[in-house]
Structure 1
Amino acid sequence: MTQQLTRDIAEVPAVEIITTAAVHLMSAAAVKCGLGEGPAATDEVDLDEARRLITALAGLVTASAPDIGSQHAAPLRDGLKSLQLAFREASPVADPPGQGPGERFTGSVV
């Protein structure tokens, strides 16, 4: 079983693994920022968790962008920026410019 899984993952291009991980981070961060669907969306808000997820996403996108190319990196950057702005909107206390989640990797988002 492990040998089969190893063989299967070996056939997946790195760009696909990176973008899949980024999408998972984006989805989780969106939920933690209160962007989930349904009446319970506000119950799932956890800005501390969202900050961690967005920072991890920013690091992944920034580090991998040169290797995955602009065709894949551009939509990830757009999604990241949207999450950073959503975090700012959801936060009761504004982070100083350049100190929001992931901004040490992306620069200030306003």
Structure 2
Amino acid sequence: MSDTEHNHVFTDSPAESPETDAARDISEVPAIEIINTVAVHLLSAAAVKCGLADDPENELDLDEARKLINALAGLITAAAPDLSDSHARPLRDGLRSVQLAFREASSIPDAPGKGPGEKLTGSVV
């Protein structure tokens, strides 16, 4: 077979497609659970990048942490009206924790209100 030839196999059965199975599975998950899962992944990644993991010397990356914290703040702020307080409060607490960890890890801290996510959450100082 040459580089330009392709051998495709098409099936009529959606049950044989992993994409269809994944779409069907995710369609059964409540939106709040998906939002919480994404937020926890962002929170975990931000914590690692802020140096809060087992190997902070090799994992500290404040540029990456800033991006993750900004994304997390945006998600929490946008989703807050649809989340109950029991879901939103732990996410806000986690966000504040990584914002403070970021500030502590920075050799040149941002001005109050200018740190990652603070445009959306207000100053954490």
TM-score w.r.t. length of structure 2: 0.84
Q: Quote the residue 1:56 is aligned against.
A: 71
Gaps spanning 5+ residues in structure 1: where? Answer: none
- Give the counterpart of 1:47 among 46, 55, 62: 62
Spell out structure 1 runs of 4+ moving beyond 2 A.
none
- Give the counterpart of 2:102 among 82, 87, 91: 87
Q: Which has the higher contact order (CA 8 A, sep 6+)?
A: 1
Larger radius of gyration: 2
Shift of 1:42: 1.6
Gaps spanning 5+ residues in structure 2: where? Answer: 1-17
Q: Quote the residue 1:17 is aligned against.
A: 34
- Give the counterpart of 2:50 among 10, 27, 33: 33
Partners in 2 of 1:53 and 1:4 — Cα distance? 29
Partners in 2 of 1:42 and 1:16 — Cα distance? 33
- Indicate the SS of the match to 1:59: helix
Shift of 1:5: 1.2
For 1:55, give the aligned amino acid.
Answer: N
Partners in 2 of 1:23 and 1:85 — Cα distance? 17
- Give the counterpart of 1:5 among 18, 22, 27: 22
Aligned residues: 108
For 2:49, give the aligned amino acid.
Answer: K
Shift of 1:44: 0.7
- Indicate the SS of the match to 2:124: coil
Normalized per residue, the structure richer in helix is 1
1:54-78 Cα distance to aligned partner (Å, 9 max, x none): 0100000011011011110000000
